[in-house]
Every structure is written in structure tokens, then in C-alpha cells.
Amino acid sequence: MIIKSGNLEVLHSGLVRTDIHKPLRFEIDEIYIQFDFTQCSLGVNAKGNEGNIKTRLSDDGNGLIIELDGTYGPLKKGWVLPTEVGTYSNRELFLSFGISALSPTTHAFSVEYTFFLGKEREDKELGAEKEEQHDK
């Protein structure tokens, strides 16, 4: 089965329930996307999510760290539209996600996610090598 959303192909989609005191990590071959919730708190009665979402490259250079801070409630917060996060199998890799608090007594989040594949990337270095060989 192939699922498409516009020009993007769904690679994987699902829901994970996770402890807010531990990171959530998705490993895709040699790269990874990691959610860091350590600066978060839960506010199930919150009218909205007052948290911030920041991204940075991992220290080892192989991953994207998505850091969340602030208070999260039952309403989802995240990237509604697919956002490009890297390359997988020489294709653009996109992610959309929504995070919500389950309950203050369980200290858990519900994370809905979808990874998408976009168009194939052009190998510019290979093209440059071919041009140099052609010029000789």
C-alpha cells in the first residue's frame, strides 16, 4: 500500500505514548529525530499549550533534536504541516507531529507523528564529477 498526501508519500505514521522525563527517539537508518521533553510540564486544565518548540542539530551530527519547553495541555501542539527534517534514501524527509498531555498523574505525552518522503534529491557532487570528466 502507498499513501500519498499531495506530492508527499507517507513513510510511516503512528502514535506513541511516552514519559515526559525521557527522550523519544526515531531512528531511520543512520539518522535520527529525537524529542527532548526535559523542560516540559503538564497542565491538563490549560486552555492552550504555552510551550515552545526549538530544533538543533545533534552533537554527533547524525540527528535532529526537537526540544520542547513550557506547559502542555490536552490540545495538540506541533508541526501541523509537514516540515523538512533531512534526507532518507536520497529523498527529502518530512515530519509532522502533534503532542498533547495525557494526565498530570501519569506524566505522559501522546505524540502523533507522520514521516513523509518528498522528491528525489539531485546528487550535485556526482554531477560536478561527471562535468569534469566530460571536459577532459
For the chain, the three-class secondary structure string (H helix, E strand, C coil) is CCCEECCEEEEEEEEEEEECCCCEEEEECCEEEEEEEEEEEECCCCCCCCCEEEEEECCCCCEEEEEEEEEECCCCEEEEEEEEEEEECCEEEEEEEEEEEEECCCCEEEEEEEEEEEEECCCHHHHHHHHHHHHC
Q: Quick check: 69 pLDDT over 50?
A: yes
Residue-wise pLDDT tens digits, 4-63: 999 999 999 999 998 878 899 999 988 999 999 877 766 655 555 566 788 999 999 999
Q: What is residue 131's predicted lDDT score, i.e. its pLDDT? A: 45
Quick one: average pLDDT of 75-79? 80
Mean pLDDT calculated for residue range 63-92: 86
Q: Which three cell numbers stand for residue 14?
A: 503512528
For the segment 87-130, what is each residue's pLDDT rounded down to a tens digit? Answer: 999 999 999 999 887 776 777 888 999 999 999 988 654 444 44
Asked whether 71 and 100 are in contact (CB, 8 A), the reply is no
Q: Which domain holds residue 43?
A: 4-135
For the chain, what is the domain count?
Answer: 1
pLDDT at 107: 76
pLDDT value, residue 136: 44
Whether pTM > 0.75 for this model: the answer is: yes
Q: What is the pLDDT of residue 108?
A: 81
Q: In the Cβ-directed half-sphere of 108, how many Cα atoms lie within 13 Å?
A: 9
Q: In what order do the strands lie in the sheet with 77-88?
A: 4-5, 8-19, 108-120, 91-103, 77-88
pLDDT of amino acid 15: 96
